[in-house]
A and B are shown apart, each in its own frame.
Chain A
């Protein structure tokens, strides 16, 4: 088993609606998607965003595009036009998700990594 950052194996994109931020996390293949299903729980993501996300995190699964969608409530300190945060529209939540580390079987990492 290896510890990897999502940066090395996943794509992400985040966006805002009111005080909610959603983060789409995309797996490069079916096998890694299966790992995401086990490793990337709503609880794990909520813990990862401690200090940024105050509310509940809900996870939706999209096996059709090998993606998970995390909807983070009370995530923008009031919302884009009222928060004092610099990342007022939550654009960097996706990038910050890429810091999350998960355990992956070495065999599965033989797929092309980012930047290779």
Chain B
């Protein structure tokens, strides 16, 4: 019976490549799949591209390629990544450059384009698509002039085409997190695009792998102190059968733990209705999924069901939404909390006096309520120390920058023992997210797959 072994290589932009190298070396995998893009990542890449026309893909691509190309060459492992971000062609060029530099020959690098629809917004509006916000129903006119990016979430199909074209490496833009993981299964097993249960199983496998160690003991809420090797976590590996069922494991001598308890937490991560997880490839139903411990660090997954995919694709756009400026300062016992509160009060008096009318002024007390807000337990009196965090929302970068300048004088003018001032960081841009739906053919008719050999 043919099996396909797939390794998780990257859970987000900035992830370590160490685990992927270990999997390439010892994991007996045919594919290493990357999910480099979170909602926020596109905004970061847009800014990069604005500064440099050749940028806009994840900057760790050259390091990843240097680390993994030897395995691509020696073992025939294929690499699939959506790290192309806002500039997949630039990413392809970069991969080819690294390959030439390393003297690798006969390597086929494919690029998928067509997800970037920013320049097509006027065309869509003209055709009568409202592009209203998916959740709030608000009209696009509210943000149309401030759009920074607009990308359709595309599925596995173009990646399958690239693999059929002989690609060793496939780089895409905004494919879904799971597309890179599903594509090899369709290609290897020859699944039809309407074998919904199998496709759903492939997507769910991708879901369990796309956040790297989050299914192998990372971010585990159970007895996390029993997890060994946080310093060298093994990323999940899936061994998939033709019927879609699969087994999750990891490289044995890496850290982490694969059990039903670690895997099930990831099962619901960022899932809404578990009977209808919408993807461009299939609607996934998780309500009959069975997870079983079948050995040390081995969990078998069966029972994933699928329903026909929808006729629409989700488009996520980001729009410029003002600037935030943040200051963090610490206070020590005694009366740490009282001191921090006094400074909060002092700053707010000054904001009023200087006529700084920010859209929002937020105060948190780090070490007390900054991560739990109104749910924090009431035990303020004997805190050893507390950090005051204040942050404002402003229309412009200049206005935002004025905020942090209020703080240095407080060190000498205010309550005693203010310390640990982290310095005035420059304001950061805030990006609003706008989700909408488009008929899938509007995007798919412009999708392109190109393969280049070095």
Q: Does A pair with B?
A: yes
Q: How far is the CA of A24 from the CA of B273 in the complex (A)?
A: 11
Say whether A4 faces chain B, with CB atoms less than 8 Å apart: no
- Please judge, given known A-B contacts A82-B431, A86-B366, whether A64 and B373 are in contact too, CB under 8 Å: no
The answer to whether B270 and A62 have CB atoms under 8 Å apart is no
Contacts of B93 in A (CB 8 A): none
Whether B266 sits at the interface, judged by CB under 8 Å, is yes
Contact of B265 (CB < 8 Å), options: A24, A51, A58, A60: A24
Judged by a CB distance under 8 angstroms, whether A102 is at the interface is no
Chain A residue with Cβ nearest B362 = A84
Residues of B within 8 A of A94 (CB): 221
- Does residue A44 face the partner (Cβ distance < 8 Å to B)? no
Distance to closest chain B CB from A82 (angstroms):
5
A72 CB to nearest B CB, Å: 10
State which of B272, B366, B431 has its C-beta within 8 Å of the C-beta of A17.
B272
Q: How far is it, in angstroms, between the C-alpha of A71 and the C-alpha of B272 when the chains are bound? A: 6
- Please report the total number of B residues contacting A with Cβ < 8 Å: 54
CA distance A31 to B122 in the complex (A): 56
CB proximity of A81 to chain B, nearest CB, Å = 4
Judge if B291 is at the interface, Cβ distance under 8 Å.
yes
- Tell me if B432 is interfacial: C-beta within 8 Å of chain A: yes
CA distance A67 to B268 in the complex (A): 9
Least CB distance from B288 to A in Å reads 6
A69 to B289, CA, bound (A): 15
Taken together as a complex, chains A and B put the C-alpha atoms of A51 and B362 apart, in Å, by 14
Interface residues on A, range: 35 or more
A84 touches B221 (CB 8 A): no
B365 to chain A, nearest CB (A): 11
Contacts of A71 in B (CB 8 A): 272-273
Find out whether the CB atom of A13 lies under 8 angstroms from the CB atom of B366.
Answer: no
Contact of A96 among B260, B289, B303, B375 (CB under 8 A): B375
Q: Among the listed B264, B286, B324, B373, which residue makes an inter-chain contact with A51, where contact means beta carbons less than 8 Å apart?
A: B373
Residues of A within 8 A of B126 (CB): none
Partner of A13, one of B265, B287, B377, B389: B265
CB-based contact A50/B374 at 8 Å: yes
Question: Across the interface, which residues of A come within 8 angstroms of B220, CB to CB?
Answer: 11
Residue A65 CB within 8 A of the other chain = yes
B370 contacts the other chain (CB 8 A):
yes
A60 touches B373 (CB 8 A): no
Contact A60 B222 (CB under 8 A): no
Q: Find chain B residues with CB under 8 A from A16 CB.
A: 270
User: Would A13 and B269 be within 8 Å (CB), given that A62-B274, A81-B431, A84-B393 are in contact?
Assistant: yes
Are the C-beta atoms of A86 and B433 separated by less than 8 Å?
no
Is the beta-carbon distance between B261 and A60 smaller than 8 angstroms? no
Q: A65-B289, A81-B39, A82-B430 are in contact. Are A22 and B371 (CB under 8 A)?
A: no
Contact indicator B287/A62 (Cβ below 8 Å): yes
Contacting residue for A64 out of B287, B391, B435, CB 8 A? B287
Add 5 more A-B contacts to A65-B289, A73-B135, A81-B431 (CB < 8 A).
Answer: A24-B265, A52-B373, A84-B391, A84-B393, A99-B377
Chosen A-B contacts, 8 in total, with CB atoms closer than 8 Å, are: A11-B221, A20-B272, A51-B374, A51-B375, A78-B432, A79-B432, A84-B362, A114-B222
| B-to-A contact residues, CB < 8 Å | 39-40, 43, 135, 219-223, 225, 260-261, 264-275, 286-291, 303, 318, 321, 324, 360, 362, 364, 366, 370-375, 377, 389, 391-393, 430-433, 435
